[in-house]
Amino acid sequence: MTDPERLLPAPALAFTMGDACGIGPEILVKLWTQTEPDGLVVGCPHVMQRAVDILAQREPAPEMGWPRVVALTDPAQWAVLLPGAMGVWAPPGLPADVIDAPLGHIDRRAGLAAAASIRGAVRLAQQGLVGGIVTAPLHKESLAAAGEPYPGHTELLQAEGAPAGQPPAPVRMMLMNDQLKTVLVTIHVGLRQAIEQVTYESVLETIEITHRSARQWGLNHPRIAVAGLNPHAGEGGLFGDEEIRIIGPAIQAARAQGIDAIGPLAPDTVFMRARHAPDHPGEFDVVVAMYHDQGLIPVKYMGLDHGVNVTLGLPFVRTSPDHGTAFDLAGTGRADASSLIEAMRTALQLLSASDSAD
């Protein structure tokens, strides 16, 4: 690895390839044809070249032409790439035969490559060689087939992002678009387990992480709505008492710290109240939701084109599109890169806001 103190320009972002059998490589190529990314790809150059070839066979050449894939032996080589080039750095641990993994299928090699790409990008961020990471979709079953103990991106990034010798910092998943931001108390677990994980400590920690992150984006006094767990937020204990025993006390503890947290509020209306419409600003800046689908369905219902996933609590910026690997579209050239483009733009905005806050 080149000395991070070198006087060469560094890319703002590292883009991970995602699952080689899904649409990640193709939407990365489309991003390169529709924008001028300030970044490099961490993944397999052969897989990225295959994605270019797939699109070139199915679409007319874009105005700026198809990107020229350049294999980088050192990320520092990004600094001397010519316009139109896509620099691709193969990180340690990338299986040499990942190009043989069939498109549209779960494959152990793709899981190994996706995990290696994430770890490589995290190392670049930790060394200050990139400011943030944008991750293309991976497949959780491929990750499991590769023997990874982590159920998804968020948990893997949490483990890898911890400084050497230190325990992983608490992180949270946020899904956002230009109308709504939601942060989750629990993430990739079954619903029964998620309910068990809604504790006083987890709710308070989520509110604290949300408040701290929002201030880093430039919101000095973020307004945080906290959803209840049960219908009508428990209706005074008639439909469950978690709001009385757990969520309400956590909100009060947050408010004692000076955090503007409100709730618990009825889950069936809180997202509507928080939505920022063109002619009607929302009542809140962000909603804390208790479990995965409670928080993600409202954002995804507004459309996948502009949704972005952000991991809060990491020591670097990380975003991703809000969709999966779409195996049914892999190799067809029909995958839409809009959410990935929004993820890139959001990452750059968060980096800029963090720099201003500093």
DSSP string, 212-251: HHHHHTT-SS--EEEE-SSGGGGGGGTT-SHIIIIIHHHH
Give the pLDDT band (50/70/90) at residue 357: low
Question: Domain check: are 32 and 164 in the same one?
Answer: yes
| Side-by-side strand order, sheet with 317-321 | 68-72, 85-89, 39-42, 13-16, 132-135, 317-321, 308-312, 172-176, 181-184, 286-289, 224-227, 261-265
pLDDT tier, 10 (very low <50, low <70, confident <90, very high otherwise) = low
Residues 6+ apart with CB under 8 A from 300: 175, 307, 322
Q: What is the pLDDT of residue 3?
A: 43
pLDDT mean over 173-183: 94
Mean pLDDT over residues 174-180, rounded? 93
Q: Encode pLDDT of 234-251 as tens digits.
A: 899 999 999 999 999 999
111 pLDDT more than 60 = yes
The mean of the pLDDT values for the chain is 92
| Residue finishing a domain among 279, 302, 325 | 302
> Do 235 and 342 belong together in one domain?
no
Residue 278 to residue 282: CA distance in whole angstroms: 10
Q: 166 and 182 share a domain?
A: no
155 and 36 belong to one structural domain: yes
Q: Write out pLDDT tens, residues 66-76.
A: 999 999 999 98
Q: Look at residue 280 and tell me whether its pLDDT is greater than 50.
A: yes
pLDDT of residue 21: 98
Domain count, the chain: 2
d(CA 12, CA 266): 40
Q: What's the pLDDT tens digit per position in 335-352?
A: 999 999 999 999 999 988
**pLDDT for the residue numbered 29:** 97
Average pLDDT rounded to a whole number, residues 70-98:
94
**Is the domain of 141 the same as that of 16?**
yes
pLDDT for 268:
95
Cα distance between residue 327 and residue 229, in whole Å: 33
Would the pLDDT of 7 be above 60? no
Percent of the chain scoring above 70 in pLDDT: 96
- Say if residues 179 and 152 touch (Cβ distance below 8 Å): no
Q: Note whether 187 and 273 are same-domain residues.
A: yes
Question: 4 vs 164, which has greater pLDDT?
Answer: 164
Q: What is the pLDDT of residue 161?
A: 87
Task: Please indicate, yes or no, whether residues 195 and 132 belong to a single structural domain of this protein.
Answer: no
Q: Are 104 and 330 in contact (CB under 8 A)?
A: yes
* Domain with 59 in it: 1-171+311-358
Whether residue 5 is predicted with pLDDT greater than 60 in this model: the reply is no
Q: Does one domain contain both 285 and 335?
A: no
Same domain membership, residue 114 and residue 1: yes
Residue 185 has pLDDT above 90, yes or no: yes
How confident is the model at residue 167, as a pLDDT? Answer: 87
SS3 67: coil
The more confident residue out of 168 and 21 is 21
The reported pLDDT for the residue numbered 242 is: 96
Nearest to 227 by CA among 149, 314, 286: 286
Q: Is the pLDDT of residue 163 over 90?
A: no
User: Roughly how many angstroms between the first and final C-alpha of the chain, as a whole number?
Assistant: 28
**Separation between Cα atoms, residue 43 and residue 161, nearest integer Å:** 18
Q: What is the pLDDT of residue 336?
A: 94
Residue 291 and residue 233 share a domain: yes
| Shared-domain flag, residues 222 and 165 | no
* Percent share of the chain, pLDDT over 90: 78
Residue with tokens 């956590």: 250
